[in-house]
């Protein structure tokens, strides 16, 4: 277990078994979506100004932002399966302002730019909120902020440091909650304190957001093709059009934006830049009015704890609790496989930790369980670049906080394709690529040993061992 709290307060095995007895191995968000528009498969040859590979958030935001910049542009999105079926339809629905996977990660990597990065992130989240309103996007958007909770005594020092840093910067959007205050807000016996970020996070229904972005895109003239797996990008002339080839068709375009994320890159240079790490999620049945009263949570914030192996959780519109995180799993060989999504031992661990956090909900059952692959980079946030003489742009490696950052990535890719000098393209975060992961078996060994070290740190008051300190020094460390 990743925390002493969860080991000490473990619920009965029978309670865990009961909660998972009839749980469906399906993505709740996709089940809850209902009937949505489907788009044709690409056949034959079509022509575009911009073709976007990937029909998740990154691709859809890029399409919409491209049409905003040039309403007359011919924009095509090509998706291998269906819109939002992968990470964009199965994440936790946390729309974070941070584009650097948290301020601490950004500060450790780009200290000279962190103030601008924070500003750009908040500006991006404000932009998402404005777009949701102006386009009439029905995605259960709630700008409720997020709670970061301490569940071990040593984590209170981290909260205090974060609060003092915010105060020194004049940031009055972070609210400190002591033990009694946080438990009055959300009634968990595990909480020792918290920081409430009142501005920097919103919640959405992930699958609705993807479906609605696609709807708005088509209304603005974007063509979307589903079930059209791209096989390659052909470059016949240095100045001529690029040919994006699928099994049954070709898009001939002046520019290409790659939004493939966890799936294999169409550029050889990115083959070792990310690894797929599986994240697992449970969704409860709807809470009754009495159960909801037992836990409070009237402000409906998204919540995460401060362990290296952390949990994240939130309420849905119909008052279910999504409970995910903790047991991130890498499989040897960098493959994305449907069979990796069913991992009984992880779901049992998650359920056990849930009832430790909310013992008053004993007897509650989980309706859905699922998993998804996260496109993890060595800098734990997205990286960007251009290829083929500046005619192909890419963004990938979000490492789990891509719901909000995907819109920022769309703007970065469009800037790169335009060859524009902007505050985004001048960022070191955009100009420099992170280190790649090593090939197998070194990648699997490295990920396994690092995960073990993070677990040991959680058991040792957060103290990082020699391996983690070395990774930190090399710019490869991660502190959630």
Q: How do strand 392-396 and strand 321-325 relate by DSSP bridges?
A: unpaired
Residue 185 sits in the same domain as residue 280: yes
Whether 478 is in a domain gets the answer no
The three-class DSSP label of residue 189 is coil
- 3-state DSSP helix/strand/coil percent for the chain, to nearest 5? 35, 25, 40
String of b and e for 8-25 (b: at least 16 CB within 10 Å)?
Answer: ebebeeebbeebbeebee
Q: What is the mean pLDDT of residues 27-40?
A: 94
Backbone angles phi, psi at 366, to 5 degrees: -100, 130
pLDDT at 38 over 80: yes
What CATH number has the domain bearing residue 70? 3.50.50.60
Residue 361 sits in the same domain as residue 297: yes
Asked if residue 329 lies in contact with residue 346, where contact means CB atoms within 8 angstroms, the answer is yes
Give the predicted TM-score (pTM) of the model: 0.93
Residue 348 sits in the same domain as residue 214: no
51-85 tens-digit pLDDT: 999 999 999 999 999 999 999 999 999 999 999 99
Q: Tell me what pLDDT residue 79 has.
A: 98
Whether 35 is in a domain gets the answer no
pLDDT bin (cut points 50, 70, 90) of residue 2 is low
Closest CA to 427 of 106, 104, 103: 106
238 burial type by CB count under 10 A (0-12 exposed, 13-18 middle, 19+ buried): exposed
Residue 107 sits in the same domain as residue 212: yes
Whether 405 is in a domain gets the answer yes
Q: What is the mean pLDDT of residues 387-391?
A: 94
463-475 tens-digit pLDDT: 666 655 565 665 6
Residue 358 sits in the same domain as residue 295: yes
455 burial type by CB count under 10 A (0-12 exposed, 13-18 middle, 19+ buried): middle
Residue 226 sits in the same domain as residue 370: no
Whose tokens are 């998972």? That residue is 20
Q: Percent of the chain, pLDDT > 90? A: 83
Calculate the average pLDDT of the chain: 92
pLDDT at 291 over 50: yes
Q: Tell me what pLDDT residue 1 has.
A: 46
Look at the chain and report how many structural domains it folds into: 3
pLDDT bin (cut points 50, 70, 90) of residue 31 is very high
Asked if residue 189 lies in contact with residue 358, where contact means CB atoms within 8 angstroms, the answer is no
Q: Which residue has the higher pLDDT, 286 or 308?
A: 286
Q: Tell me what pLDDT residue 309 has.
A: 83
Q: Tell me what pLDDT residue 10 has.
A: 81
Whether 456 is in a domain gets the answer yes
Q: How far apart are CA 318 and CA 391, in angstroms?
A: 45
Strand boundaries in 319-456, DSSP class E: 321-325, 329-330, 366-376, 383-387, 392-396
Q: Tell me what pLDDT residue 480 has.
A: 44
167-212 tens-digit pLDDT: 999 999 999 999 999 999 999 999 999 999 999 999 999 999 999 9
Residue 230 sits in the same domain as residue 156: no
Asked if residue 188 lies in contact with residue 354, where contact means CB atoms within 8 angstroms, the answer is no
Domain that holds residue 314: 4-28+146-198+276-375
Q: Tell me what pLDDT residue 403 has.
A: 97
Q: How do strand 44-53 and strand 249-258 relate by DSSP bridges?
A: parallel
Asked if residue 356 lies in contact with residue 11, where contact means CB atoms within 8 angstroms, the answer is yes
Q: How do strand 75-78 and strand 44-53 relate by DSSP bridges?
A: parallel
What CATH number has the domain bearing residue 351? 3.30.9.10
Residue 188 sits in the same domain as residue 281: yes
Number of neighbours of residue 236 by Cβ within 10 angstroms: 9
Residue 280 sits in the same domain as residue 268: no
Q: How far apart are CA 75 and CA 52, in angstroms?
A: 8
Residue 364 sits in the same domain as residue 281: yes
Whether 479 is in a domain gets the answer no
Whether 437 is in a domain gets the answer no
Q: Percent of the chain, pLDDT > 70? A: 92
Q: Tell me what pLDDT residue 479 has.
A: 47
Residue 216 sits in the same domain as residue 353: no
Q: Tell me what pLDDT residue 12 has.
A: 84
Point out which residues pair with 225 in neighbouring strands: 78
417-463 tens-digit pLDDT: 999 999 999 999 999 999 999 998 888 887 777 765 666 656 665 66
pLDDT at 476 over 60: no
Q: How far apart are CA 239 and CA 49, in angstroms?
A: 14
Residue 178 sits in the same domain as residue 229: no
Structure tokens at 154: 């040593």
Q: How far apart are CA 412 and CA 321, in angstroms?
A: 34
Whether 141 is in a domain gets the answer no
Whether 262 is in a domain gets the answer yes
């Amino acid at each position: 277990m990743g925390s002493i709290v969860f080991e000490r307060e473990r619920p009965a095995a029978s309670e865990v078994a009961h909660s998972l007895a009839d749980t469906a191995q399906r993505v709740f968000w996709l089940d809850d979506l209902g009937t949505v528009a489907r788009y044709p498969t690409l056949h034959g040859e079509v022509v575009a100004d911009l073709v976007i590979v990937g029909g998740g958030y990154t691709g859809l935001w890029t399409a919409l932002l491209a049409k905003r910049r040039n309403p007359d542009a011919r924009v095509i999105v090509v998706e291998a399966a269906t819109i939002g079926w992968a990470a964009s339809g199965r994440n936790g629905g946390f729309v974070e302002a941070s584009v650097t996977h948290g301020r601490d990660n950004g500060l450790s990597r780009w200290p000279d730019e962190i103030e601008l990065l924070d500003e750009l992130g908040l500006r991006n989240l404000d932009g998402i909120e404005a777009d949701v309103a102006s386009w009439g996007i029905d995605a259960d958007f709630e700008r409720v902020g997020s709670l970061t909770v301490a569940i071990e005594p040593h984590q209170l020092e981290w909260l205090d440091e974060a609060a003092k840093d915010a105060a020194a910067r004049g940031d009055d959007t972070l609210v400190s909650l002591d033990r009694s205050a946080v438990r009055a807000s959300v009634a968990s016996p595990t909480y020792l304190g918290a920081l409430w970020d009142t501005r920097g996070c919103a919640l959405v229904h992930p699958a609705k957001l993807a479906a609605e972005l696609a709807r708005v895109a088509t209304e603005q003239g974007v063509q979307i093709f589903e079930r059209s797996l791209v096989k390659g990008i052909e470059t016949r002339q240095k100045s001529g059009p690029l040919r994006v080839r699928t099994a049954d068709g070709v898009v001939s375009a002046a520019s290409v934006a790659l939004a493939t994320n966890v799936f294999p890159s169409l550029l050889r240079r990115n083959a070792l830049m990310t690894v797929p790490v599986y994240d697992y999620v449970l969704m409860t049945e709807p809470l009754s009015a009495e159960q909801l009263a037992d836990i409070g949570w009237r402000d409906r914030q998204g919540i995460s704890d401060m362990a290296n192996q952390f949990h994240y959780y939130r309420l849905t519109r119909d008052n279910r609790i999504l409970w995910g995180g903790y047991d991130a799993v890498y499989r040897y060989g960098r493959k994305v496989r449907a069979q990796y999504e069913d991992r009984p031992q992880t779901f049992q661990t998650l359920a056990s930790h849930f009832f430790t956090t909310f013992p008053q909900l004993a007897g509650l059952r989980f309706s859905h369980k699922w998993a998804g692959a996260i496109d993890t980079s060595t800098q734990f946030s997205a990286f960007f670049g251009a290829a083929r003489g500046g005619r192909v742009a890419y963004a990938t490696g979000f490492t789990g906080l891509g719901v909000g950052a995907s819109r920022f990535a769309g703007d970065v890719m469009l800037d790169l394709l335009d060859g524009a000098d902007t505050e985004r393209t001048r960022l070191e975060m955009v100009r420099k690529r992170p280190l790649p992961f090593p090939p197998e078996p070194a990648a699997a060994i490295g990920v396994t040993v690092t995960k073990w070290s993070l677990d040991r740190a959680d058991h040792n008051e957060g103290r990082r061992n020699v391996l983690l300190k070395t990774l930190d020094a090399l710019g490869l460390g991660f502190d959630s």
